[in-house]
Structure 1
Amino acid sequence: MSFYTSLNGLKNAQTDLNVISHNIANSETTGFKKSRVAFADVVATSILTNPSLTQGIGATVQKISQEFSLGPIEQTGSALDVTVNGDGFFSIKSPLSGQTKYTRNGSFSVNGTGNVVSASGDRLQLFPTDATGTITSNTQVDAVIPQTNAAGSNFAGVTISLDGAVTASYGDGTNTVVGKIALAAFIAPDGLKQLGSSDWAATGLSGAPTYGAPGTGQFGGLLSGSLERSNVDIAEELVGLITAQRNFQANAKAIDTATQISQTIINIHS
């Protein structure tokens, strides 16, 4: 039994090392959220087992949880770099599959067709507004910047205000509010499915998203001209790396000791 107990320990330590390595590798990834492994002991008993003589049979990975604490804020000065100062996520949609994704990476740009897109090419979602910036519908639309305004003047630039209003500027000095950024929030964000590229998808564990404008409810306000860095603490991860390495070595030593005991017994009978 000791072989299998220690083998489970080796596998668990390897899982811990894998998660920590992934965290460290993404310490400079914009909008990345670190993960942590939770373990649980495993006990096998029956109604005839004396509780005072119960032996455990090792440990198992209970959960790999994500931590959505706010990462450090880096000032970039770019008009389309935005940080959510709260619990909200940017809502983006894939132009190919139509899948709605959620991200904390607020590094956006305008592509050749006028769409405001993420680094992965997914389109930022907005609430439509009237000329005064008042939201007119809860149905989300793609953020599209018109190439020219009603007077025929060419596009000159775009800005995102603290309340989420996306405003296009034109060569004749006029401004047009395209819409307001739609933020999403979840009752259990650690249940979101990781998609890579700092994107997540809703699952049954996370619950359905609720949407709102920046600066309302739990969504949080926006910080324009800045990006949220990874929330990975390198010093903390290195300490965890040392601990996981020690756990791996200890379980390997337990297997070695069990092997020596078995060999001794074999030698006695031979």
Structure 2
Amino acid sequence: MPFNIGLSGLNAAQADLQTTGHNVSNAGTTGFKRSRAEFGDVFAQTFGGISQTAIGSGTRLQAVTQQFSQGRTEFTENGLDLAINGEGFFVLNDQGNTVYTRAGEFQVDRDGFLVNNQGQQLQGYPPQNASAADPEFNTGQLNDIRLQTGDADPQATGEIEALVNLRSDAENLDPALFDAADPDTYNFSTALTVYDSLGTARDANLFFVKTADLEWQAHARVEAGVDAAGDPVAFDAGPFDLSFNNSGTLEEPTTFNLTTPDFPNGAAGLDTELDFGGTTQFGGDFAVNDLSQDGFASGRLTGVDIDDSGVVFARFTNGQSRVLGQVAMANFTNPQGLEKLGNNNWAETFAAGDPVLAAPGTSNLGTIQAGALEAANVDIAQELVNLITAQRNFQANAQTISTADQITQTIINIR
């Protein structure tokens, strides 16, 4: 019996050494969770329970459990590296099988999918309206997250906002004499760039003519390029009547419809709302306080950003961004019940419970840090101490066997 007890202790110490060695060997593995060997004592059962005088039969390995404590966050230079701050797992598609990981080392494959170094595709929620400023996501559907590599569509100018101050002491002019080419026929002018339906930039000018006290006319001219004969083409719109009260603020109407014919390049004509709301007639100098429009040209992909809620944005050269999806995360009632697959992956089991899928930062799920990775939660100093302890346990159990052998030899030598 002492031999078996000592042997069980040797096996336990060896399992402890192997577990600790496994932790040390993965100290540099992204998202690795250290393991702990758990042991239990062994007693022989008798009828009615364990005898009060039972000595015990040694020890046995009960389980090797992983400890899901947070690893430190290490920042990288790759914007597609993702670290989880808090609970949860990334969801991956492994050729139709769903696996889970804490390792966020992602890259883009040849088809534009976000994958890890094993080619497993990161799962996320598709946007319901990718062009919306605050898009909603279809959280009932998991898709492979795919980056758009084509050009972003252009947008024709649909609104122009012009907020200016027109000098109250400006000279009254005859509106019938207005000529955009003659500066003497208008009081003030300003310019901006607008875009047609094909994303071509067009120069647009606004002209202001004071027709009477507190009365002005605004004219618009949009340069349209050249016609088939090579002659320059410009489209004129207006006049738009602006009336001010004796406080110098603009009275209704303040918005007007600016339309043009189709452009020579085949683009549709502008159908734009021209908003002068906030325009004033004060005694100060002519000033352009705000002049903006909502159109833009097409753009090429310049980069991808991921925020802490897992929303993936594509950035384009035209200054626009487009939502590509939202990273999905999963959590389990008992993460220690997950099946260890290796390669930083786990699979769901009955013991782990059903996966709860949601967006990062919701429920009890952690947030995402882009451009960073979660390091292993292995404390090398603690593991070295564990090695020393396991080694001493091994030596002590070996001494148990040695002592039992000496006693046996003594009994054999009795004459």
- Give the TM-score band, short-chain normalised: over 0.9
Corresponding residue for residue 75 of structure 1: 75
- Structure 1 residues not aligned, in runs of 5+: none
Query: Is 2:186 the counterpart of 1:184?
Result: no
Hey, what does 1:265 align to over in structure 2?
411
> For the residues of structure 2 that align with 1:4 and 1:50, how far apart are their CA atoms?
19
Task: Decide which moves more: 209-218 or 127-136.
Answer: 127-136
CA contact (8 A) 2:313 2:324 kept: yes
Q: Which amino acid aligns with 2:105?
A: S
Aligned to 1:32: 32
Written as runs of structure 1 = structure 2, the 5 A alignment for 1:1-40 is 1-40=1-40
The within-5 A match list for 1:28-177 is 28-47=28-47, 51-94=51-94, 97-129=95-127, 130-131=129-130, 132=132, 133-149=135-151, 151=153, 153-177=299-323
User: CA 1:99–1:50 in 2, change beyond 3 Å: closer, same or farther?
Assistant: closer
Paired position in structure 1 for 2:386: 240
Q: Which has the larger radius of gyration?
A: 2
Q: 1:74/1:260 Cα in 2 relative to 1: closer, same or farther (>3 Å)? A: same
Question: Unaligned regions of 5+ residues in structure 2, if any?
Answer: 154-297
- Of Structure 1 and Structure 2, the greater helix share is in 1
Distance 1:216 1:3 in 2: 55
Contact between 2:81 and 2:373, CA under 8 Å: does it hold in 1?
A: yes
In structure 2, the CA distance between the partners of 1:183 and 1:50, relative to structure 1 (3 Å rule), is closer
- Give 3-state SS (helix, strand or coil) of 2:15's partner: helix
CA contact under 8 A between 1:148 and 1:170: conserved in structure 2? no
The question of whether the paired residues in 1 share the 8 Å contact of 2:152 and 2:316 is answered with no
Alignment of 1:181-260 (within 5 A): 181-260=327-406
Q: Give how far 1:45 is off.
A: 3.2
1:137-159 Cα offsets, whole Å, 9 max, x none, are 42100011122145375433211
Count residues with an aligned counterpart: 267
1:178 and 1:50 map into 2 onto residues whose CA distance is 63
Q: Following TM superposition, by how much is the alpha carbon of 1:50 offset from its aligned partner in structure 2, in angstroms?
A: 8.2
CA distance in 1, matches of 2:87, 2:409: 58
**Quick one: distance in 1 between partners of 2:50 and 2:69?**
45
Conserved 8 A contact 2:86-2:365: yes
- TM score, norm. by length of structure 2: 0.62
Normalising by structure 1, report the TM-score.
0.94
Equivalent residue letter for 1:191: G
Deviation per CA, 1:82-120, whole angstroms, max 9, x where unpaired? 1111111110111xx311111111111111110101122
Distance 1:83 1:124 in 2: 13
- The percent of aligned pairs where both chains have the same amino acid is 44
The 2-side partners of 1:8 and 1:233 are apart by: 28
Deviation of residue 265 (structure 1)? Answer: 1.6
